[in-house]
Amino acid sequence: MALFDPKKSQISQLQKSIDDKNRMIGVYYDEIGKLYYKQYRDMNADVSRDINTRCESISNLYLEIEECRLRILYERGYKECKNCKKENLLEHAYCSACGEKFPESNDVSVVTHVDPAEMGIVVPTVEKVPAENTEKVTEGGEAVTEGNGDIPVENEEVELRGETEASEEESAEETASGEEETSYSVSD
């Protein structure tokens, strides 16, 4: 029997990582409680962004904990059935409890893959409008949104793409010809 077992060391490190992540989750829960109390005390305080940030961090930590747990199983020579959650030997092609077929590969990335939806964690997705569909124009000091109107615009430089993109020469010609003067700043 060897004095140093690398698998036991790896399992120990993974368990320590799980413990650290659980402590961080506790800290985030405490911070969320303090933020809610702050909002209770001062109704004008908007802490929703801070709370959402911490909630996203908690969700990510739960996913990381599950990955560590599955990695510990893998190091011990087991994998978990996604259907019934029963532990099975890595060599098994089908679950011994429910008969679910396992993926062909026993690679660590396949065996320890965690799908947030399977855990009941909804990871919010933020849709970003592609730059070519967005124009930001400032006219008379007020913010105006052109294009699809999905992005709120503040007083910023103009971003023009596609057909509306004008060169400096064209802008100079229009100004010289007496057309209405509008100043644009094109960003790449």
At 3, the pLDDT band (50, 70, 90 cuts) reads low
Write down the pLDDT at residue 124: 57
pLDDT digits (tens, 9 = 90+) for 95-143: 999 999 998 888 777 777 887 777 677 655 544 444 444 444 444 444 4
At 70, the pLDDT band (50, 70, 90 cuts) reads very high
Write down the pLDDT at residue 166: 41
Write down the pLDDT at residue 116: 77
Write down the pLDDT at residue 156: 36
> What proportion of the chain, given as a percentage, has pLDDT over 90?
45
Structure-token pair, residue 113: 């893959």
pTM assigned to the model: 0.59
pLDDT digits (tens, 9 = 90+) for 171-188: 444 444 444 444 444 544
Distance (Å) of CA 12 to CA 5, 26, 69, 75: 11, 21, 11, 11
- Name the residue among 81, 106, 105 with its Cα closest to residue 95: 81
Q: Which residue has the higher pLDDT, 94 or 165?
A: 94
What one-character-per-residue DSSP string does the chain give?
Answer: --S--HHHHHHHHHHHHHHHHHHHHHHHHHHHHHHHHHHHH-TT---HHHHHHHHHHHHHHHHHHHHHHHHHHHHTTEEE-TTT--EEETT-SB-TTT-PBPPS---HHHHT---TTTTT----------GGGEEEEEETTEEEEEET--S---S---B--GGG---HHHHHHHHHTTPPP-------
What's the CA gap between 2 and 139, in Å, rounded? 76
What's the CA gap between 85 and 98, in Å, rounded? 10
Query: For residues 94 and 72, is the Cβ–Cβ distance under 8 A?
Result: no
Write down the pLDDT at residue 72: 94
For the ranges 13-17, 43-47, 71-75, 129-133, the lowest mean pLDDT is seen at: 129-133
Q: Which residue has the higher pLDDT, 180 or 57?
A: 57
- Size (the chain), residues: 188
